Amino acid sequence: MSYLNRHAFIGLALSLVCWVSVWLPGLAEPAITLQQQVDDYVAQGRGPRAVAALLITPEGTEMALAGETGNPAQPVPTPDTLFEIGSITKVFTALLLADQVNQGVVTLDTPVEALLPSQAPPSSTSISLQALASHTAGLPRLPLSRILRASLYPANPYRGSQPEELYRAIAAADPEPGTCQYSNLGPSLLGQLLATAAGQPYETQVQTQVLAPLGLTDTHFDLDLAAKDRLAQGHLENTLPTANWQLDAYAPAGGLKSTLTDMGQFLQAAIAADWPPLALSLQPHSEDCEPNFGLGWIFTELEDTPMIMHNGRTGGYYAFLGWLPEAGRGLVLLTNTSDAQGDQVATALLTGDPLPTRP
């Protein structure tokens, strides 16, 4: 089930940050190695320029790298090449919420209106922080004002956004609480409200309260000059290079960049779930939804096999992180092309199925 198909051109431009899909392929024993599959993926027409993948199985861990980054400072991908991870950022925003809940700063039931700054327009809507993180607030994907602006500037649709835009959107919203609707607005607002509650910038909080405890030292919102030398050049689906998006107020929904090394470490931490905020985030909070949502995480199935995952797609990148708990298999996939078939490719790599045929 794709959340992009409903919105044609404008929806495509806006949904790239957080495309979410549900797949139902069969599980299969891999007939070829991960490296062979990744090499085939790169060789496909209109496929990604560079790919970094890590597969965890009961037999061990396998890594594969292929293609060209498009960055002359580091032309060949390595485990430390940086990629945009798009909506996987939402998981880290939800982990910030889980950490603040465990510290007693807020609760899952804290209402949005309790954390809105004094200058924000009043809201008559009662929405909990948990609802923002689990996509059950009934909020639209994006405010209408952002949809209109993005239609004018599709190459950088979030640039110039300010938290005030989010506060106006929540004041004008008339959602039906409990409605399951995937949203960029909700997690973005959540990140800004958590910053208000703690009296620190959102990016600083994620760095000190989430990334540092998890040992993710190479996951960033902003890159210094040395890190930019390791950033893979983003590409549109037609293989043309494209500029990186500037997320601004929507950074909590899709602003992070990371490496295969860091995301592989995060996948192992998520599977173990022995850090209290991770354990809290991995409890389903919207069992009436299809798919179900935890705090940030998406719970779905592959032919009756449970899968926990999140993916991300920005203007020039596709990313996936997920695992099959019962099968003991997990995958990180990072590419520097905004690939519409990324979901199907990720599933094939995770399950060992053949790669999808590209039109």
- Interval 189-220: pLDDT, tens: 999 999 988 999 999 999 999 999 999 999 99
Q: Of 7-11, 32-36, 307-311, which one has max mean pLDDT?
A: 307-311
Query: Does 136 have pLDDT greater than 50?
Result: yes
The pLDDT assigned to 262 comes to: 98
Q: What is the mean pLDDT of residues 91-106?
A: 97
The pLDDT assigned to 174 comes to: 78
3-state secondary structure labels for all residues of the chain: CCCCCCCHHHHHHHHHHHCCCCCCCCCCCCCCCHHHHHHHHHHCCCCCCEEEEEEEECCEEEEEEEECCCCCCCCCCCCCCEEECHHHHHHHHHHHHHHHHHHCCCCCCCEHHHCCCCCCCCCCCCCEHHHHHCCCCCCCCCCHHHHHHHHHCCCCCCCCCCHHHHHHHHHHCCCCCCCCCCCCHHHHHHHHHHHHHHCCCHHHHHHHHHHCCCCCCCCECCCCHHHHCCECCCECCCCCECCCCCCHHHHHHHCCEECHHHHHHHHHHHHHCCCHHHHHHCCCCCCCCCCEECCCCEEEEECCEEEEEEEEECCCCEEEEEEECCCCEEEEEEECECCCCHHHHHHHHHHCCCCCCCC
Q: What is the mean pLDDT of residues 253-263?
A: 98
pTM: 0.91
The pLDDT assigned to 173 comes to: 84
The pLDDT assigned to 245 comes to: 94
Q: What is the mean pLDDT of residues 120-146?
A: 89
Sequence ranges of the domains in the chain: 8-101+202-351
The pLDDT assigned to 26 comes to: 47
The pLDDT assigned to 25 comes to: 44
Tokens of 303: 């032919």
For domain 8-101+202-351, the CATH architecture is 3-Layer(aba) Sandwich (3.40)
